[in-house]
Structure 1
Amino acid sequence: MNAKVARKTELRVIRALVADDQAVVRTGFVNLLGTQEDIEVVGEAEDGVQAVQIAAETRPDLALLDIRMPHKNGIEAAREILAASGGATKVLMLTTFGLDEYVYDALAAGAGGFLLKDATFPELLHAVRVVADGNALLSPEITKRLIGEFVHARASRLPAHSVGELTTREAEVLTLIARGLSNAEIAGRLTITDHTVKTHINRLFAKLELRDRAQAVIVAYGLGLVRVGE
């Protein structure tokens, strides 16, 4: 076995589904993702109904869904894909605008992140890998406007909690999650092990009744641990 084959064998390949009703956009994303050794496009869909069907057939690691599609929009498709896969398939939403009226609803449905359609190639690859790995990703533009427009207005959609329910360390971890740090980065910042970070995350998620890191970001802003613009 030569070095190139051995390296490819060791790679964790992300199996992706791309859904967008605009053929040019969809083909562009498929072609770009197809250039990477660690990403394999296992299906394409032109609307939400097809996306759900293909996801059921292929069981992708990641579904890249346009938020606005005919027959079944990206949010409805995301909700069904996540439910059918038990959360095994992660969802990355595509949006044309920095603030789409459905962004909050998509987060509530379980989407792991958002990507603007005019994102650069490196931004696309970074987003796919981050979300496929189970982490949340929101662009700075979306995060700032999302929090400003929706968090306070729709806080009732998430259970009410207070910072007092968390230990000092758990509050620190939640703050760093909201600032976009990965588990490894949080461990380095707090000088603790990755395992300890995961333990703190599991505990604070249980206390705050959170499903994923995207919800954790919203709650952190709602609790005042971080503020817009920080």
Structure 2
Amino acid sequence: MTFIDALLTARRPLVMEVKLRDPHGNDLLGPRTVTDLVAHYEQAGAPCLSVVTGRWFGGTTRLLREVTAATDLPVLQKDFLTRPAQLEAAHAMGASAVLLTAALLPAASLRRLVTTALALGLTPFVEITDERELDHLPHPDQCVIAVNNKDIRTRERDPGDPTRSLRLLPALRAAGCRAPVSASAITDPATAARLLDAGYAALLVGTALMRTGDLHTWLADLDTARTGAAA
């Protein structure tokens, strides 16, 4: 199953993230092994995983290989990818999706990378922070379009603003996106529930899930919050 299809058919559409450090350099893995963490996410019902290979967060491509070897779930490589050769390498290492950060890519480069990713069978996971970054995006119906609630200019050390996702959702829908995602600064189940109930197809949650001492309770609280909102 492709990354985008796994999200769109998930009962609880959370992309659960594997990263070694938070934006301030603090260790997130602790005494756990990567394999243990992946198994924990699988047992919790994750439809997809994200692996941060960017050096800001202590990542390497070795981490991607370790995760893809440990799971059959679709995996996103989360890094600043800017060249077709990097997408080919991601595919070779078992990734199912690749991060493309619109703010860092000229329009022509973004179009080329989206087309290359799709040709390789990868889901383009296009990250935006502004409605203008949707301009000239090809094949929006085949992309995951993710609103980053934090600021990459500060290496995501800011607290973030989930209301950015709420403001941009109509633009994502108007662009033809089937799989809008809200990412970063989702610190608690109530925030996650609000974003899903607003119409987001999925969420990417990293630090909050890695830091929680009880993943199953965090997820149960999300389910309860969504039920309460629906009622």
Q: Shorter-chain TM-score: what band?
A: 0.3 to 0.5
Higher Rg of the two aligned structures: 1
TM-score using structure 1 length: 0.40
More strand per residue: 2
TM-score using structure 2 length: 0.40
- Higher relative contact order, structure no. (Cα contacts within 8 Å, ≥ 6 residues apart): 2
More helix per residue: 1
